[in-house]
Structure 1
Amino acid sequence: MVRAVVLPAIGSPLEITDIELPEPGPRQVRVRLVAAGVCHSDLSLSDGTLRLPVPAVLGHEGAGTVVSVGADVTHVAPGDAVILNWAPSCGRCHPCGIGEVWLCADAFTGAAGVHARTADGTELHPGLNVAAFAEETVVGAGCVVPAPAGVPLAEAALLGCAVLTGYGAVHHSARVRAGESVAVFGAGGVGLATLQSARIAGAATIVAVDVSPEKEALARAAGATEFVLASSGPTAKEIRALTGGQGVDVSIECVGRAATIRTAWESTRRGGRTTVVGIGGKDEQVTFNALEIFHWGRTLSGCVYGNCDPVRDLPVLADHVRAGRLDLAGLVTERVGLDGVAGAFENMVRGRGGRTLVEF
């Protein structure tokens, strides 16, 4: 038995309970977690914005060491440090075939399986494939990637989602070029990683936008050259004023709300790029008129998992960490045990802090 955070039903309070894991079968790996980041996607699963089977063990941004492996696992062995990959690509579907592995059609099929059982025999699903809010987990072989050397394993958990997403939004989706101006909406875990990535890309003006004045110090430490308090007035107008009236070259929305997406769009210069990273609900409707789409010539695009391939991109991120360009510890504003996950959810709802890290 191991301790885990379980979501009994959509909208229900989280429960910390003992679960029984099976031994790893063929192409499976058992991992003892060192740390797991608390991501907004976990909150989206708990409130029903993301629809996956429940009851489930939550958590998808994690790192740890391999305990044991099943048959046909050759890329990791017991004792190896690994990072969890919550969206493994199948290598067979159309997106995988054209190199867009972050859009794999079968990435979430594992969430429908039985991951573990409670003491009374209740079947549990892995919330986002990897069930990282637990002392140990059993995952498919594609859900583990060898951890890069020279990166502290606890902080390396953040590479598995927040940093891949933020880095990819800047470098793969928006393709920020040196000297450009960038606005990042939302200074939570992903937003702070996006700000650091914009700095790495060589952006000249980096505007952080958030509703909380307490986020300014975090944002500036991550690379923001300007901070705009979204609740204080017409945000898009203020951002345009910071860029000679033109608007920024790139806006990256990390919140997932219709009003924020619309503001990001209006903050982008004519011919610029707006990238949406935040996960919004179906009721969040964004409207545009036909004339403005023609007139402004902007590009609006979604961004899934930072358009990243973890196997390709994790070594690049590790190089940035080892060189001091990427500060993983700077993304973490609170370190808790499993009993702190519910509080971390509440902080996200209230817009407080950056990333909360669960340490085992």
Structure 2
Amino acid sequence: MKAAVLREVGKPLQIEDVQISKPGPHEVLIRTAAAGVCHSDLHFMEGKYPYPLPAVLGHESAGVVEAIGSEVRTVKVGDHVITCLSAFCGHCEYCLTGHMSLCVSPDTKRDQEAEPRLTSPTGPMMQYLNLSSFAEHMLIHEHACVSIRKDMPLDRAALIGCGVMTGVGAVIHTSNVRPGDTVAVIGCGGVGLAAVNGAAMAGAGRVIAIDMSPGKENLAKSMGATDFVLGGDDVVKQVMEMTKGGVQHSFEAIGLSKTAEQSFNMLRRGGTANIIGMIPVGQTISLMGAAFLGEKRIQGSLMGSNRFPVDMPRLVDAYMAGKLHLDDMISRRIRLDQVNEAFEEMKTGAVARSVIVFDA
């Protein structure tokens, strides 16, 4: 099969022929229909987060089940599925206490002495974030995908696999936004726009979208933002004045120390800042200690604190009901061999999401 391979940090992905194994007892073989090009992949390409190489990248995807292992009970051949990088074992402490997105059990991976799921003529190929979806097929654990209704377009379903689940989940699960709450979202890329949409779906009374690009205003408002503010050094002051003391929930969806600090500083007393963006390894943030006397909180959110086998089909239903706005999130549909172009466009900040469509 054709796949986009990262062999060296700082270099473009290479389109190569990669061999894929047959499903083990709890594994599922999926024909990839669509894969979103996510900023997280760029972090690994640039070395901001380390990962063993060579690896097939990609982690936001949807497809059709082609084969299943002997013990698989969650999906069947022919099912349309959304994948999720937060594969879960189902029996560890995290899973049993309802925190499936935090599961790190090795049970969802093949043993080191077993045949690798992916190989190339030069040797084993690393599977990226349990998925490796920049490829014509994926071989994954059954607890890394969920079956969805077949009338859902798979190019839009792919977005739910990471960016939408991360943004909406951070709002609904991690920060528990309630009707009437005030919300600010810093960064209007795919994840930030999903957070904006999620806040609107949760009934937030005011949703302030913040981005450095003025061209994002109309898109953010189409997702449910009530206000748009250009990012910059005075953004905290602007938000504090607009809300007469700060917001109850803020969401940083870029991955920068400066914007993480801003997300905390724009809170009202008792507010919560949620860091969704991937701040590069080694970077730190600085906060005023006295602010904690106002019971302000700052916390991380991993994949929207999801329970994806339940959440993702519900998000599909929300899209089909016209509540989750996925159509406008797709800036461009591309072929696999255009993936490097998509990453270059991503760096400009002008696009929301490019989606690789494999049947195109």
* Normalised-by-shorter TM-score class: over 0.9
Structure 2 residue aligned with 1:238? 238
Note the C-alpha offset of 1:170. 0.7
Higher mean C-alpha deviation, range 26-35 or range 183-192? 26-35
Contact 2:88 2:108 in 1 (8 A): no
Structure 2 residue aligned with 1:331? 329
CA deviations 1:241-285 (Å, max 9, x no partner) are: 2112x1111111111111001111111111111111111112321
Structure 1 residue aligned with 2:351? 353
Note the C-alpha offset of 1:107. 6.7
1:194 to 2:195 alignment: yes
Note the C-alpha offset of 1:341. 1.6
Note the C-alpha offset of 1:317. 1.2
For 2:118, give the aligned amino acid.
A
Aligned 1:106-185 pairs, distance under 5 A:
106=105, 110=109, 114-118=116-120, 120-185=121-186
Give the percent of matched residue pairs that are identical in Structure 1 and Structure 2. Answer: 38
Structure 1 unmatched runs, 5+ = none
**Could you state the TM-score of these two structures normalised by the residue count of structure 2?**
0.94
Secondary structure of 2:249 counterpart:
strand
Structure 2 residue aligned with 1:210? 211
Aligned 1:239-318 pairs, distance under 5 A:
239-244=239-244, 246-294=245-293, 296-318=294-316
Structure 2 residue aligned with 1:5? 4
Structure 1 residue aligned with 2:222? 221
Note the C-alpha offset of 1:109. 6.5
Structure 2 unmatched runs, 5+ = none
Contact 1:277 1:303 in 2 (8 A): yes
Contact 2:49 2:281 in 1 (8 A): no
Secondary structure of 2:119 counterpart:
strand
CA RMSD of aligned residues (A): 1.8
Q: How many pairs are equivalent? A: 355
Structure 1 residue aligned with 2:34? 35
For 1:303, give the aligned amino acid.
S
Provide the C-alpha distance between the structure 2 equivalents of 1:274 and 1:112, rounded to a whole number of angstroms. 39
Provide the C-alpha distance between the structure 1 equivalents of 2:325 and 2:53, rounded to a whole number of angstroms. 35
For 1:327, give the aligned amino acid.
H
Provide the C-alpha distance between the structure 2 equivalents of 1:24 and 1:312, rounded to a whole number of angstroms. 24
Structure 2 residue aligned with 1:84? 83
Secondary structure of 2:180 counterpart:
coil
CA deviations 1:300-352 (Å, max 9, x no partner) are: 11100100110121232122112110121121111111122212222222222
For 2:328, give the aligned amino acid.
G
For 1:286, give the aligned amino acid.
I
Note the C-alpha offset of 1:234. 0.5
**Could you state the TM-score of these two structures normalised by the residue count of structure 1?**
0.94
Structure 2 residue aligned with 1:21? 20
Note the C-alpha offset of 1:136. 1.1
